[in-house]
């Protein structure tokens, strides 16, 4: 039987999560160096968390969080011998929930600041969990004019699981923003607007029904958002694209040319500069000076000084994150830099989940109901591209094949 226990005892804080077989403890003698070492140990546990970027980092394969990094990281916080407050272990526990969202890496800029922000964020949450209520987690879907495969939901499942765990332990919940970049798809990829906007509407409806069915207890913390045709925003995008194009080496030997070359599979790769620049506004790395982020997207209205954002994207996003880091370090005219954005990389979505795979069972196809046996093969990893294996695995392990296909039958 699964049991969870969250308790405070005296000066210490203990989390027991039997299913994960994970225990965190702290007492009054935890120093900064010990705190960082424990945080690194948690990151190095099952996933071998990677750093993408940094002064010595790599964009392609990343750098491992290692115990050797502990003194460097601790130094960012101050005296390595400083005694940490009692909430340090609570920070480690909550961080563990977030890492359970299939996270495999953290993107930083040209310095270690992104890693420092990652650690200090969870330390701040440990001190005051109410911080989470003002935190916005963003997962981005691109615009498409085609019906998606049945793995569409996989991209949001791990984050929904995080919200479920936080709620179960009585911890305040962040908001989950599910973003569709439909206008960018039309303007940059040259797709037909009516087809893309129509498919976006259908995809949002599918995800709403999915959350209502499988995660009803947290639906009030989820909202959907779309970009729009605000010309002030597109002016900032063009200025940012221009400034990036003049950079020979943006990060660790990777100039923008090399970054965009890594995105060969994406359509209109000659437009990658503009596509990368768009990400900085969509995910809140920079804000428009007039009216915050709200003129650019339809739902999120918040001041840049208040914004604490966490973006969660698939492996390809590490390349776009490099451009986002550049934008936050070289803010174009007409924009502000956000106070803090954490850029996390998940193993889900190695290939975009909103693009159909050849032979995959699709939502919205009449023959889907007659192909459930084939869908079962995909979900059990007996068929299909290994690059999508994680997408199907998270559906199978979280929902169960039978329950998920039953729902698919209801919404087709």
Residue 69 has pLDDT above 90, yes or no: no
Render pLDDT for 212-224 as a digit per residue (tens, 0 to 9): 999 999 999 999 9
For residues 218 and 213, what is the distance between their CA atoms, to the nearest angstrom?
11
Residue 250 has pLDDT above 70, yes or no: no
Residue 80 has pLDDT above 60, yes or no: no
Least confident span in 79-88, 111-120, 223-232? 79-88
Render pLDDT for 135-147 as a digit per residue (tens, 0 to 9): 999 999 999 999 9
For residues 328-349, average pLDDT: 82
Q: What is the predicted pLDDT for the residue at 182?
A: 92
Residue 358 has pLDDT above 50, yes or no: yes
Residue of 122, 213, 211, 138 lying closest to 171 (CA atoms): 122
What does DSSP say about strands 286-288 and 175-181: parallel, antiparallel, or unpaired?
A: unpaired
Q: What is the predicted pLDDT for the residue at 18?
A: 22
Residue of 231, 230, 233, 178 lying closest to 200 (CA atoms): 178
Least confident span in 310-314, 318-322, 380-384? 380-384
Compare 400 and 259 and report the one with higher pLDDT: 400
Q: What is the pTM of this model?
A: 0.84
| Three-state DSSP class for residue 6 | strand
CB 25 within 8 A of CB 9: no
For residue 308, what pLDDT band results from cuts at 50, 70 and 90?
Answer: confident
For residues 291-316, average pLDDT: 66
For residues 62 and 42, what is the distance between their CA atoms, to the nearest angstrom?
18
Q: What is the predicted pLDDT for the residue at 213?
A: 97
Q: What is the predicted pLDDT for the residue at 282?
A: 87
Q: What is the predicted pLDDT for the residue at 138?
A: 93
């Amino acid at each position: 039987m699964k049991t969870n226990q969250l308790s405070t005892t005296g000066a210490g804080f203990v989390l027991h999560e039997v299913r994960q077989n994970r225990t965190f403890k702290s007492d009054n003698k935890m120093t900064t160096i010990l705190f960082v070492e424990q945080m690194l140990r948690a990151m190095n546990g099952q996933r071998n968390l990677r750093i993408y970027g940094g002064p010595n980092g790599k964009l392609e394969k990343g750098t491992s969080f290692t115990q050797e990094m502990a003194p460097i990281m601790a130094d960012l916080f101050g005296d390595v011998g400083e005694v940490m407050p009692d909430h340090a272990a609570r920070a480690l526990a909550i961080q563990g929930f977030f890492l359970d969202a299939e996270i495999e890496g953290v993107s930083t800029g040209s310095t270690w600041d992104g890693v420092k922000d990652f650690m200090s964020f969870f330390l701040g949450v440990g001190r005051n969990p109410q911080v989470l209520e003002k935190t916005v987690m963003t997962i981005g879907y691109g615009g498409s004019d085609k019906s998606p495969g049945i793995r569409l939901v996989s991209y949001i499942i791990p984050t929904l699981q995080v919200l479920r765990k936080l709620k179960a332990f009585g911890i305040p919940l962040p908001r989950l923003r599910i973003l569709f970049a439909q206008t960018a798809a039309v303007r940059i990829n040259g797709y037909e607007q009516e087809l893309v906007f129509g498919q976006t509407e259908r995809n949002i409806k599918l995800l709403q029904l999915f959350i209502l069915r499988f995660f009803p207890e947290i639906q009030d913390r989820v909202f959907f958002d779309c970009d729009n045709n605000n010309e002030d925003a597109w002016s900032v995008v063009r200025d940012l694209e221009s400034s990036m194009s003049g950079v020979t080496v943006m990060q660790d030997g990777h100039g923008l040319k090399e970054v965009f070359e890594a995105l060969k599979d994406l359509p209109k790769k000659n437009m990658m500069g503009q596509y990368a620049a768009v990400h900085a506004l969509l995910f809140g790395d920079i804000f428009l000076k007039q009216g915050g982020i709200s003129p650019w997207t339809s739902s999120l209205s918040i001041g840049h000084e208040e914004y604490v954002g966490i973006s969660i994207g698939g492996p390809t996003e590490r390349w776009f994150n490099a451009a986002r880091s550049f934008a936050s370090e070289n803010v174009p005219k007409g924009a502000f830099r956000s106070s803090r954005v954490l850029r996390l990389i998940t193993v889900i979505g190695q290939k975009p989940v909103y693009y159909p795979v050849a032979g995959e069972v699709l939502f919205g196809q009449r023959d889907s109901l007659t192909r459930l046996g084939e869908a079962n093969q995909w979900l059990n990893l007996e068929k299909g591209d290994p690059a999508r294996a994680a997408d199907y695995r998270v559906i199978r392990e979280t929902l169960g094949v039978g329950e998920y296909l039953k729902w698919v039958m209801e919404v087709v």
